[in-house]
Amino acid sequence: MRLLVVDDDAMMRMLLSRIFVQEADVIGLHSGRSALEWLEENTCDLVLLDYRMPDMDGLDVLRNLRKHSQHDDLPVILLTGDTETGLETEGFALGATDFIRKPFVPDVVRHRVRRLVRYEYLKKHLEQEVGRKTLLAESRLSESRLLFREMVVSLARTVDAKDKYTSGHSERVANYACRIARRAGESVENQEKIYYMGMLHDIGKIGVPGIIINKEDALSKEEYARIQTHTIIGAKILQSIDVFPDLAIAARCHHERFDGTGYPDRLKGQDIPRFARILAVADSYDAMTSNRSYRRMLPQAQVRQEIVLGRGTQFDPEFADIMLTLIDEDATYLMREITQQLDPD
């Protein structure tokens, strides 16, 4: 422990040095100015500061000391022979840690100093420990987020690999849905959620036979019904993710239509979750702008027309309008090339 004793009275400096002779390195200085100079180059664990000194009183020293950030939390005990209570109030306001009145009992001074130094040590140690733990927690959190994201990408690619014509479909739908959500004023957090819902919306296709998914001829009624089950299968797969229940809801509801003729629950209008209405537009846009087993991708003007036709029937008008704006901004018809990014704009 290192103590700085600042007192113009040499006897007082000697007395205080003697009190701590066993346990501390005590530096004694005779004036406030010399103490401030010493503290510019050195440091200590605590200052015992006399209030009444000729050149600069204890309060002035304290005021100057607190201006320097390296000493703003250095414990300072003011020593005073005055009985005036206003002095204590002013001293505490300036950042004094404690007061000791002269004449004092050596043991009391010893206990107070020890307690304050110990307290400061624990406080600093605790702050460092909290800082270290916070950094560790942040790094673990970002690792888990990265892992989650990479797992989602892998799952989405697993689904898309099943259909030779829909490579990259999930990532593009996620991307379009994220753009629509942003234009609709959703928060960054919600945009990210919608992105993940887009990535996994078709995960239920894992449970539909590849022979039906890849069939080039027209589907029979039974086969079409089988394809439709991907919404229910997807919801079942994702329902175990308790921390993100909307993932399962998005998988279930992305084929609902705004007019209530979609599947699997024939939900209508605002009864369809908002993010599923966004996904429905994004999903259809990608279907029309991709080559499929039974047709080539459609020309942009035709895609635009289909969105206009579906506005209010298949699609929520709010999100159909946003999609139309995105189409109109995409003069080169290259929007589908920009994929696999969470934040493409």
Q: Which is nearer to Fe ion, 78 or 303 (CB)?
A: 303
Instruction: Kindly state whether residue 57 participates in binding Fe ion, applying the rule CB under 5 A.
Output: no
Q: Which of 102, 164, 193, 205 is catalytic?
A: 205
Segment lying near Fe ion (by CB under 5 A), choices 20-28, 92-100, 152-160, 202-210: 202-210
Strand pairing class (76-80; 46-50)? parallel
Q: How far is the CB of 283 from Fe ion (least distance, A)?
A: 6
CB 304 to Fe ion: min, Å:
22
286 binds Fe ion (CB under 5 A): no
* Shortest Å, Cβ 326 to Fe ion: 20
Q: Which is nearer to Fe ion, 170 or 190 (CB)?
A: 170
Nearer to Fe ion, 169 or 304 (CB): 169
- State the nearest-atom distance from the C-beta of 230 to Fe ion, in Å: 6
* 7 contributes a contact to Fe ion by CB under 5 A: no
Q: Is 45 in the site for Fe ion (CB under 5 A)?
A: no
CB 199 within 8 A of CB 169: no
Active site residue 268: no
**Which region among 157-165, 194-202, 221-229, 260-268 touches Fe ion (by CB under 5 A)?**
194-202
Cβ-proximal residue to Fe ion, closest one: 202
Could you tell me which stretch among 38-46, 177-185, 197-205, 296-304 binds Fe ion (CB under 5 A)? 197-205
Does 202 contact Fe ion by CB under 5 A? yes
Minimum separation from the CB atom of position 213 to Fe ion (A): 11
Q: Which is nearer to Fe ion, 186 or 202 (CB)?
A: 202
Contact status: 256 vs Fe ion (CB under 5 A): no
Q: Decide: 254 and 283 in contact? Cβ < 8 Å.
A: yes
For the sheet with 25-29, list strands across it: 25-29, 2-6, 46-50, 76-80, 98-101
Q: Binders of Fe ion: how many residues, by CB under 5 A? A: 1
**Among all residues, which ones are annotated catalytic?**
205
Instruction: Please report, as ranges, the residues that interact with Fe ion according to CB under 5 A.
Output: 202
